[in-house]
Amino acid sequence: MKKIVISGGTGLIGSQLVRTLNSNYKVVVLTRSPEKYKDSENVSFEEWNGQDAITSILDGAYAFINLIGENIGDKMWTTLQKERILNSRVEAAYAVNKSMSQCPDMPKVWIQASAAGYYGQLGGSNVVCDEFSPKGEHSFLADVCAKWEKPIREFEAPIRKIIIRTGVVLSPNSLLMQQVLMPFKFGVAVVTGKGNNYFPWIDISDEVGAIHYLLENEDCEGIYNLVAPHNITMKELVGEVKKRKKTFITLYIPELVLQLIFGKEKTREIILTNQLVAPKRLLEAGYTFLKEKIEDVSLIEKK
């Protein structure tokens, strides 16, 4: 069996990806706390702090998938937290770059995580961004993504290099859905702002499916937007949940209140993110989405 090394393999995306790959590959998961996990026949856990060299682990592997990075949505964007968000990604990617270059038998494929935040915010336009669109301006997340991608762009060895710019991953266990679903416990639906802001999304099954597809198709390299073909608004997302859970009232939280709670920058780029992003190259590569539209997605955990 070929060996695949995954960092960030214990998170929402990584853990499901490991379950998908372990039937055909030997999977090595890099984590800060390997003692928390139990090795199985095709899955093992190795310690990595996201900074040290991992040459011995990468040597002889078929592929490396780098998903590591501080969560961008669960804490206030203080100066220190913004440094963590940036450094956790950039330091790990450069450590991979250096480790790869020192491998006698380096991996044939490097898949590097990034985000749709690369394209910035819509502002007053309705431009749909694809993989050929420029980086967004005046955006913390756009700057983070550009710096995050730089180590793989600079890597000159003749291997397949793939950058995945992921939208909001939807799953009953994702941070966004947990936040959306919480008020429903009390029969209340909550919409942030006016709810008209668009955001690129992808179901967890397609996020994992697309990574698997890109991994196994040798013609695939370069940048791919991992987003569903149909962008939605926050009002549409909450409306879809309302079809499935009983509510008595819908509350709209004004932008000013959100700014007071979360800060202006995080409100603009996370809470009220406004983007239109298309998976142009992913569709051209032949990937077939399992869940193209929001009504197809399992937003609520089955009991």
Residue 46: strand, helix, or coil: strand
Residue 74: what pLDDT? 86
The reported pLDDT for the residue numbered 124 is 60
* Tokens read off for 188: 């209340």
Helices (H) and strands (E) in the chain, counts: 10, 13
Cα dihedral value 255, 122, 120, 116, nearest 10: 100
> Hey, what are 293's tokens?
């539209």
**Residues found in the chain:** 303
Query: Average pLDDT by consecutive 10-residue portion of the chain (303 residues)?
Result: 95 95 95 92 94 94 96 93 96 96 96 97 82 94 97 95 97 91 94 94 97 97 97 95 92 96 95 95 98 91 62
Task: Give the pTM.
Answer: 0.95
> What domains lie within the chain, and their CATH numbers?
2-169+202-227+278-284 (3.40.50.720)
- Residue type (1 letter), 101: S
Please identify which residue in the block is written with the tokens 């310690």: 47
Angle at 233 between CA 228 and CA 238, to 5 degrees: 105
- DSSP assignment letter at 136: P
* Residue 214 near residue 220 (C-beta atoms within 8 A): yes
Contact 231, 247 (CB under 8 A): no
CA-only gyration radius of the chain, Å: 19
Beta carbons within 8 Å of 256's beta carbon, 6+ residues apart = none
pLDDT recorded at residue 294: 94
